[in-house]
């Protein structure tokens, strides 16, 4: 299972009833394929940043979901065939393995004890990452 | 340092370079393209009035965040939250 999010734009001329049906249908495609709808946000009618098929407005819907890897393709194909959907985009959410960490700051101050100097020398041979850990052993 | 810089540009009509990356300052780990849906989003400071991505040298953004930012802008464009280019 992967985490995804989709934004799709429904034609602003589609009436509320049909729109609700469409949103349910999209959610149904996800759940019927062993997926899980995590969150649905209706952003509502918005002005498009550029005209799509001569349309200047659209009804934005955002859905966060979990699904198997083959679902996004199927879902975007399905929405692509739907005339009420102006555009859609699915994004895979990737969990970051490493977070933003500050750059290791090299100690500029000279070592006070002879022992500390030895530690520094051995650390210099090792990779940069281990330099940070070295003072803890001293 | 800053005095040298000023001396080299005596007219002083250039915007002073922001030295730190705004995303690093805010400890942003993921630049979310969805934030462009807010017309007043701070993210929009990174594009000009024509919708073009501003270069790092103008915004002070670090290389890592600039890569993320350009990806986010491209996603926002694809779903019409941002223009490809204003006419
Ligand atoms: Zn940064």
**Domain assignment of residue A38, given as a range:** 2-93
User: What stretches of B1-87 show up as alpha helix (H) in DSSP?
Assistant: 2-8, 22-25, 56-59, 63-78
pLDDT digits (tens, 9 = 90+) for B13-30: 666 655 799 999 999 999
- A83, A122: one domain: no
In a domain, A100, yes or no: no
**Which of A50, A60, A100 is the closest to B83 by Cβ?**
A50
- A86, A48: one domain: yes
User: In this complex, how many residue pairs, one in chain A and one in chain B, have their CB atoms less than 8 Å apart?
Assistant: 36
CA-CA distances (angstroms) from residue A19 to A9, A45, A104, B79? Answer: 11, 12, 53, 19
Q: What percent of chain A has pLDDT over 90?
A: 67
Cross-chain Cβ contact B79/A7 below 8 Å: yes
> Given pLDDT bands bounded at 50, 70 and 90, which one contains residue B3?
very low
Minimum distance, in Å, between the CA of residue B33 and any CA atom of chain A? 10
Q: Averaged over A94-123, what is the pLDDT?
A: 49
- A17, A65: one domain: yes
Spatial CA neighbour of B74 closest among B62, B65, B83: B83
Q: Flag whether the ipTM exceeds 0.85.
A: no
- A26, A49: one domain: yes
Confidence (pLDDT) at A127: 36
In a domain, A46, yes or no: yes
Confidence (pLDDT) at A70: 96
In a domain, A101, yes or no: no
- A63, A120: one domain: no
- A62, A121: one domain: no
pLDDT digits (tens, 9 = 90+) for A43-53: 999 999 999 99
User: What does the CA dihedral B72, B73, B74, B75 come to, rounded to 10 degrees?
Assistant: 50
Cross-chain Cβ contact B29/A7 below 8 Å: no
Q: Averaged over A96-117, what is the pLDDT?
A: 49
pLDDT digits (tens, 9 = 90+) for B40-77: 898 999 999 899 999 999 999 999 999 999 999 999 99
The Å distance, Cα B28 to ligand 1 centre, comes to 8
Q: Crossing angle of helices A114-125/A128-137, nearest 10°?
A: 150
**What's the predicted TM-score (pTM) here?**
0.73
Q: What percent of chain B has pLDDT over 70?
A: 78
Pick the more confident residue, A90 or B4. Answer: A90
In a domain, A52, yes or no: yes
Kindly tell me the burial class for residue A29, based on how many C-beta atoms sit within 10 Å of its own C-beta (0-12, 13-18, 19 or more): middle
Confidence (pLDDT) at A118: 39
- A25, A55: one domain: yes
In a domain, A99, yes or no: no
A39-53, A107-121, B7-21, B68-82, range with the lowest pLDDT: A107-121
Angle B4-B7-B12 from CA coordinates, rounded to 5°: 120
> Given pLDDT bands bounded at 50, 70 and 90, which one contains residue A105?
low
d(CA A57, CA A87): 12
- A13, A62: one domain: yes
pLDDT digits (tens, 9 = 90+) for A126-138: 333 333 333 443 3
Residue of A nearest to B28 (CA): A100
CA-CA distances (angstroms) from residue B42 to A26, A78, B34? Answer: 32, 35, 12
Interchain CB contact of A34 with B (< 8 Å): no
> Given pLDDT bands bounded at 50, 70 and 90, which one contains residue A97?
low
Cross-chain Cβ contact B37/A87 below 8 Å: no
- A127, A85: one domain: no
CA-CA distances (angstroms) from residue B3 to A128, B9, B10, B15, B20? Answer: 34, 10, 10, 15, 18
């Amino acid at each position: 299972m992967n985490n995804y999010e989709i934004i799709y734009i429904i034609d602003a001329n589609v009436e509320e009833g049909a729109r609700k049906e469409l949103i349910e249908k999209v959610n149904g495609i996800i759940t019927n394929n062993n997926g899980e709808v995590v969150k649905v946000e209706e952003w509502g009618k918005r002005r498009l940043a550029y005209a799509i098929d001569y349309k200047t407005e659209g009804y934005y819907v955002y859905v966060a979901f979990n699904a198997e890897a083959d679902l996004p393709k199927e879902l975007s194909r399905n929405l692509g065939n739907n005339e009420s959907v102006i555009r859609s985009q699915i994004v895979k959410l990737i969990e970051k393995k490493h977070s933003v960490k500050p750059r290791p700051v090299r100690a500029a101050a000279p070592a006070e004890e002879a022992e500390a100097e030895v530690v520094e020398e051995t650390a210099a041979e090792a990779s940069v990452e281990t330099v940070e850990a070295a003072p803890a052993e001293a | 340092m800053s005095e040298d810089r000023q001396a080299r540009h005596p007219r002083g009509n250039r915007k002073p370079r922001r030295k730190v990356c705004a995303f690093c300052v805010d400890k942003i780990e993921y630049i979310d393209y969805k934030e462009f849906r807010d017309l007043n989003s701070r993210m929009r400071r990174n594009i000009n009035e024509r919708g073009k991505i501003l270069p790092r040298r103008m915004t002070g953004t670090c290389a890592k965040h600039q890569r993320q930012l350009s990806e986010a802008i491209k996603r926002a464009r694809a779903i019409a939250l941002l223009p490809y280019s204003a006419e």
